[in-house]
Amino acid sequence: MNEAQRVINHFKGIIDSTLREGFQFSRADFSPADQKKIYSTLSRIGIDYVEVGNPIRREIQEMIQELVRSRRPKDPKILCHLRNRSRDIEEASRCGVAGVNILCTIDRERLAAMGLTREKNETLLSDNLDLARAFGLEIRVGVEDFFRQDPSASLRIFKLAQSKGIDRIAVADTLGKAMPWEVFRRIRSLRRRLSLDIEVHFHNDLGHAVSNSLAALDGGANWVSATLLGIGERTGITPLSSLLANLFVLHPDLARRYHLRYLTRAERLVSRLCGIEIPPNLITNPANGFAHKAGIHLDAIVKFGPHKYEIFSPEVVGNKRNLVLHKLLSGKAASADTHSLKRLFASS
Ligand code: HCA
Ligand code: CU
């Protein structure tokens, strides 16, 4: 089996965290109405799960309840992101969400500040998993800052989760420090030791979030956490459009399960709400995502068609082609009839 097939065989779905991790982006402050718009845009794309914040904050709780009330059966399932605390689980259950994403810290100093040892934390987790189970919630347990923590301590948390029959474990690269080859190796090792689903969450501090997500899928991960535009804490996490574009390239049939043509519109919505441009390195950027400027590129496009310099056509992600004629760069193409050139290759 080659890498592309392995990635696709392991992949089960996407957990969008624009309403949780994305809310932690310095420029984000989504009103309840904005959040409903984001949720429905994610639903249109066909996203499997949407992660929301912790309902112990009243405003967040009201928002979650509103999403749950207006949710239609085919809309993404809603997951609350929680700490390893019984109170959080009780509040989530009261909201009527499908499940909980519990995040555990195993850092000794952080635990000590909460009056906990690793052992006490594990007992607490065990009780909280029973509680969430009793409420009939789907459960995921994640380890924060996985790549800097002691592997055996993480494995103990995951084994405990597995023994309780929970649905997924999650690996969070909280600082965005992991390298793709390390991700592949560590996830493959977890895959060999555990039978339950693995979710991954990669930050983008070093620019590896997308590659790391793919390396994790290759190693045996099943679920990927992403946000529209990739927004989140600091430089954010895996951008949804990049992730889906990769899956489309690896396996066009699988990515047809998602409606990629809504991606540009969805990322434009979030860019507008945050008061920023769509970053130029995203395929959904309307000005440059599919812009062609170099003479060599334009010439090949004229002679053979846009596929010579496009990985797929802009319509796939709901974007548009943009031919940029510049007297210094475009060579002969620049002297061609601009209008007919543009008409010929402008996408609808
Ligand atoms: C954070 C928490 C988190 C959690 C990820 C997860 C991280 O730092 O805000 O629960 O999967 O990156 O560790 O986003
Ligand atoms: Cu994060």
Residues contacting residue 181 through CB under 8 Å, at least 6 positions apart: 215
| Pairing relationship of beta strands 13-16 and 223-226 according to DSSP bridges | parallel
Is 10 among the catalytic positions? no
Q: Tell me if 236 CB under 6 Å of ligand 1.
A: no
Atom of ligand 1 nearest to the CA of 203: 12
Q: Tell me if 51 CB under 6 Å of ligand 1.
A: no
Q: Tell me if 21 CB under 6 Å of ligand 1.
A: yes
Amino acid of residue 280: P
d(CA 205, CA 278): 18
Tokens found for residue 69: 């009330």
Regarding pTM above 0.85, the answer is yes
Q: Tell me if 172 CB under 6 Å of ligand 1.
A: yes
- The residues that bridge with 169 in the sheet, in sequence order, are 141, 198
Residues contacting residue 95 through CB under 8 Å, at least 6 positions apart: 55, 61, 64, 65, 68, 80
- The pLDDT value recorded for residue 345 is 61
Q: Which of 103, 168, 205, 237 to mutate to test the pocket of ligand 1 (most atoms within 8 A of CB)?
A: 103
Tokens found for residue 208: 């590896």
Q: Which of 21, 25, 54, 175 to mutate to test the pocket of ligand 1 (most atoms within 8 A of CB)?
A: 21
CATH fold for domain 3-274: TIM Barrel (3.20.20)
Q: Which of 106, 146, 148, 174 to mutate to test the pocket of ligand 1 (most atoms within 8 A of CB)?
A: 174
Report how far ligand 1's centroid is from the alpha carbon of 174 (Å): 6
Tally: H helices and E strands in the chain? 15, 10
d(CA 79, CA 242): 23
Confidence tier at 98 by pLDDT (50, 70, 90): very high
d(CA 69, CA 169): 28
Please tell me which residue in 201, 203, 292, 297 is annotated as part of the active site: 297
Atom of ligand 1 nearest to the CA of 21: 14
- DSSP secondary structure code for residue 162 in this structure: H
Percent of the chain's residues with pLDDT above 70: 95
Q: 140: closest CA among 165, 119, 120? A: 165
- The pLDDT value recorded for residue 115 is 96
Confidence tier at 204 by pLDDT (50, 70, 90): very high
Average pLDDT value for the chain: 95
Q: Tell me if 197 CB under 6 Å of ligand 1.
A: no
| Pairing relationship of beta strands 223-226 and 291-292 according to DSSP bridges | unpaired
In the chain, domain spans: 3-274, 291-347
Q: Tell me if 101 CB under 6 Å of ligand 1.
A: yes
* Three-class secondary structure assignment of 230-262: HCCCCCCECEHHHHHHHHHHHCHHHHCCCCHHH
Residues contacting residue 119 through CB under 8 Å, at least 6 positions apart: none
- The residues that bridge with 52 in the sheet, in sequence order, are 80
231-257 pLDDT, tens digit per residue, is 999 999 999 999 999 999 999 998 779
Tokens found for residue 233: 């804490």
Report how far ligand 1's centroid is from the alpha carbon of 51 (Å): 11
d(CA 171, CA 141): 9
Atom of ligand 1 nearest to the CA of 145: 13
Report how far ligand 2's centroid is from the alpha carbon of 205 (Å): 11
Q: Tell me if 144 CB under 6 Å of ligand 1.
A: yes
| 337: pLDDT strictly greater than 70 | no
Q: Looking at residues 176-184, what average pLDDT do you find?
A: 98
Report how far ligand 2's centroid is from the alpha carbon of 223 (Å): 15
Q: Exposed, middle or buried: residue 312 (CB in 10 Å: 0-12, 13-18, 19+)? A: middle
- The residues that bridge with 78 in the sheet, in sequence order, are 50
Which whole-number Å values give the CA distances from 314 to 22, 226, 285, 286, in the listed order?
A: 25, 21, 10, 10
Tokens found for residue 88: 């959080």
Tokens found for residue 95: 């909201």
Q: Looking at residues 315-323, what average pLDDT do you find?
A: 97
Which whole-number Å values give the CA distances from 173 to 4, 79, 131, in the listed order?
A: 23, 20, 27
Confidence tier at 344 by pLDDT (50, 70, 90): low
